[in-house]
Chain A
Amino acid sequence: MVRRGWRWAVVALGLAVLVALPALVAALPADDRDLSAAELRAQVVASEDVAFSGYAISTGGLVLPVSDALTGVADLLSDQTALRAWYRDADDWRVDVVTATGETGTHRDASGTWTWDYADQRASRGDDPPLALPSAPDLLPSALGRRLLSEATDAELTRIAPARVAGVDAVGLRYTPADAAASVSAVDVWVDPGTGLPLRVVVRSADTDVPALDTRFLDLDLSAPAASTTDFSPPADSDITRDQDLRDLDLGRQERADLPSALAGLARRTFDGVPDQVGAYGSGITVLAVSALPGRAAGSLRDQLSRTPGAVVDDLGVRIAAGPLSLMVAGTSTRDGGSGTYLLAGTVTLDALAAAARQIQEAGR
């Protein structure tokens, strides 16, 4: 019996070591650095020229009640997305969304982007429009971290414990938005202290422990990728199209485009190229976009939102929240092009949406 036992003991021991190994590696403590939150943020904001290549996973925890036209956005925010990235500088990079049997690549050059879709064998060209839906490259930890921290104030930042991300001892930074209207409770960013590159970003909302978005590098190489890797020329037999542009959207024949200068305590801001009917409010992670809505679109969107579990329907309109994202169709809808129907969307609380809708109504009177 003893003779029989040692062999099994060897196998069991080997198995135990193999099973424990990943957990042991994950439990290795990460080193911290003596950097203030403000210094760290400055490093992150200045990291736009840091070249790298890497592999990242983004996990969204949001369920968006959207139509077929927006499934791409909904998938980004609700599913796991595997991203391969090569970054030379802000105007020369490539991000591939990798799926089991295909991929979609975005190649940025000085004058715009090429998007290659293997499933459709289609290459499309876009020119960095002022208004665009979120796309996979926006979810890369480096891009998202820089964007979210770019407008954070020092008072909103604190240091948190370091973590190992993609083999790097990354130092932690928490951004807690101060706006009363904010629906995002905190954004945690782990940063490579050597370069200021954000390596992991976790967006949290107050109502749940599940992060609204968790995106992190799994592999990272800080050497500059070859220009031939980021470069793209469409294959000979592919379809070539132009990106759909939000500027082409029909916003309806709204006569009154004068939106208030502040909504729900958030100041209005302007961007070049954005039409007057679209108002952007707030800063940092607390933002609200308001757009006039053509009547025919308003009706179907209103129906869709009101069918969503948890929707609040009252005389102001219909509003819903998906994690920290909130959406509202405010005002009355009519078939003749709409008289004062607005779409409100942003990272604000439902109360803030209601307050904003009320202000728009009052301004219209």
Chain B
Amino acid sequence: MIAVELRKLFRRPRTWITIALLNSLPVLVAVLLKLTDLAPRPGEGPAFLSAVLTNGTLFPLAALAIVLPLFLPIAVAVVAGDAVAGEAQGGTLRYLLARPAGRTRLLVAKLVAVIAFVLVTVVIVAAVGYLVGTTLFEVQSVGATTALSGSTLTPEQVAWRTVLSIGYVTISMLGVAAFALFFSTLTDSPQLATLGALAVLIGSSLLFTLDAASDIAPYLPTRYWLSFVDFFRDPILWRDVVRGLGLQAVYVVVLLGAAWANFTTKDIAS
């Protein structure tokens, strides 16, 4: 069933259009930077963007930082929100469930497909970022990348830490995916499920900026998203990364539990 869902997802032109659109923003930013030579100051603007003019190999990270706050979660919410509600709206959910596989397995298959989408998307954003970065900007062959802490990172260290960042960003998206998937089991409208997940996302981002909400900040789904930057401190600061992973795990477990409780007992009419 998982293979069926994966095939279905990646055969849809819509999936690839989404990924292409997602890549357009970092590419546009790279072209503008190249044309104007105006990079933001370090510590301002999207993370790592300041450093790409002198080191194009950092552009995959800058590309991730550019799409992370909004573009990437929107894409994830669209795909995950469509997972169950899209089938219901299209009238195909009944037929899917007529198979003996069971609703729990369908839910798991949908989740795996969404995770695969996130991973493929993040890897493509990073790969396109690398291509664009190394084509448009200077590449430093010897280890001269300055970590946030002022020490020097070798190209191998940069590559390894970029891989860690890609993994971390992928996992950071699972909370949004779980919200959208849960909403997708509540409604027959995929748009409603997507909007629900985006409302959570925007609410979380807003509360995070508010001092008055500092007590609940550690529990907000977007709280630790930017912590992939911590891979580029020296030594690596694991504290927020570990908390980010734990928090996403909690959201996934609770929301999938709720999705499962709802979906396995729901009357399917369409």
- Complex: A98 Cα to B43 Cα, angstroms: 11
Q: Which of B111-119, B171-179, B197-205, B253-261 contacts the other chain?
A: B253-261
A18 CB-CB contact with B under 8 Å:
yes
Query: Is B254's CB under 8 angstroms from A103's CB?
Result: no
- For B165-192 the 0/1 string (1 means CB < 8 A from A) is 0000000000000000000000000000
Listed residue (B41, B148, B239) with the most chain A CB atoms within 10 angstroms of its CB:
B148
Known: A14-B253, A18-B254, A235-B146. A102 touches B43 (CB 8 A): yes
Query: Is A101's CB under 8 angstroms from B265's CB?
Result: no
Query: Is A119's CB under 8 angstroms from B44's CB?
Result: yes
- Complex: A232 Cα to B234 Cα, angstroms: 11
- Complex: A65 Cα to B173 Cα, angstroms: 42
User: Which residues on the A side are within 8 Å of B237 (C-beta)?
Assistant: 55, 84, 98
| B233 partner, pick from A8, A80, A98, A121, beta carbons under 8 A | A98
A3 CB-CB contact with B under 8 Å:
yes
Query: Is B150's CB under 8 angstroms from A105's CB?
Result: yes
| B149 partner, pick from A3, A80, A105, beta carbons under 8 A | A105
Q: Which residue of B lies closest to A123 (CB)?
A: B150
Query: Is A119's CB under 8 angstroms from B41's CB?
Result: yes
| Closest chain A CB from B212 CB (angstroms) | 13
- Complex: A11 Cα to B144 Cα, angstroms: 50
- Complex: A238 Cα to B42 Cα, angstroms: 12
Query: Is A102's CB under 8 angstroms from B146's CB?
Result: no
User: Which residues on the B side are within 8 Å of A120 (C-beta)?
Assistant: 41-42
Known: A84-B237, A100-B226, A236-B144. A119 touches B42 (CB 8 A): yes
Interface size on B, residues (CB 8 A): 29
Listed residue (B44, B226, B233, B264) with the most chain A CB atoms within 10 angstroms of its CB:
B233
Known: A98-B237, A119-B44, A235-B152. A14 touches B146 (CB 8 A): no
Query: Is B146's CB under 8 angstroms from A238's CB?
Result: yes
User: Which residues on the A side are within 8 Å of B47 (C-beta)?
Assistant: 100-101
Query: Is A11's CB under 8 angstroms from B261's CB?
Result: yes
- For B37-76 the 0/1 string (1 means CB < 8 A from A) is 0000111100100000010000000000000000000000
Query: Is B43's CB under 8 angstroms from A11's CB?
Result: no
| A14 partner, pick from B152, B235, B254, B264, beta carbons under 8 A | B254
A4 CB-CB contact with B under 8 Å:
yes
- Complex: A280 Cα to B212 Cα, angstroms: 38
Query: Is A121's CB under 8 angstroms from B149's CB?
Result: no
| Closest chain A CB from B74 CB (angstroms) | 21
- Complex: A100 Cα to B42 Cα, angstroms: 12
| Closest chain A CB from B217 CB (angstroms) | 10
| B264 partner, pick from A7, A18, A102, beta carbons under 8 A | A7
| Closest chain A CB from B132 CB (angstroms) | 21
- For A203-220 the 0/1 string (1 means CB < 8 A from B) is 000000000000000110
- Complex: A238 Cα to B51 Cα, angstroms: 13
- Complex: A238 Cα to B144 Cα, angstroms: 11
Identify which of residues 211-266 in chain B touch chain A, using a CB-to-CB cut-off of 8 Å.
214, 226, 229, 233, 235, 237, 239, 250, 253-254, 257-258, 260-261, 264-265
| B257 partner, pick from A10, A96, A105, A232, beta carbons under 8 A | A10
User: Which residues on the A side are within 8 Å of B144 (C-beta)?
Assistant: 235-237
User: Which residues on the B side are within 8 Å of A123 (C-beta)?
Assistant: 150
| Closest chain A CB from B221 CB (angstroms) | 14
- Complex: A101 Cα to B69 Cα, angstroms: 14
User: Which residues on the A side are within 8 Å of B264 (C-beta)?
Assistant: 7
- Complex: A236 Cα to B150 Cα, angstroms: 10
Query: Is A118's CB under 8 angstroms from B43's CB?
Result: yes
Q: Which residue of A lies closest to B146 (CB)?
A: A235
- Complex: A236 Cα to B146 Cα, angstroms: 9
- Complex: A3 Cα to B254 Cα, angstroms: 20
User: Which residues on the B side are within 8 Å of A102 (C-beta)?
Assistant: 42-43, 148
| Closest chain B CB from A93 CB (angstroms) | 14
Query: Is A118's CB under 8 angstroms from B254's CB?
Result: no
User: Which residues on the B side are within 8 Å of A218 (C-beta)?
Assistant: 239
User: Which residues on the B side are within 8 Å of A229 (C-beta)?
Assistant: 235
A246 CB-CB contact with B under 8 Å:
no
User: Which residues on the A side are within 8 Å of B149 (C-beta)?
Assistant: 96, 103, 105, 116, 118
- Complex: A80 Cα to B215 Cα, angstroms: 13
Identify which of residues 228-243 in chain A touch chain B, using a CB-to-CB cut-off of 8 Å.
229, 232, 234-238
Identify which of residues 53-104 in chain A touch chain B, using a CB-to-CB cut-off of 8 Å.
55, 80, 84, 96, 98-103
Query: Is A100's CB under 8 angstroms from B229's CB?
Result: yes
A15 CB-CB contact with B under 8 Å:
yes
Closest 3 CB pairs of A and B: A102-B43, A119-B43, A7-B261
- Give 29 CB contacts A-B under 8 Å: A7-B264, A7-B265, A8-B258, A11-B254, A11-B257, A14-B253, A84-B233, A84-B237, A96-B233, A98-B233, A100-B229, A101-B43, A101-B229, A102-B42, A118-B42, A118-B43, A118-B148, A119-B42, A119-B44, A120-B41, A120-B42, A121-B42, A121-B146, A123-B150, A218-B239, A219-B239, A232-B151, A235-B152, A237-B54
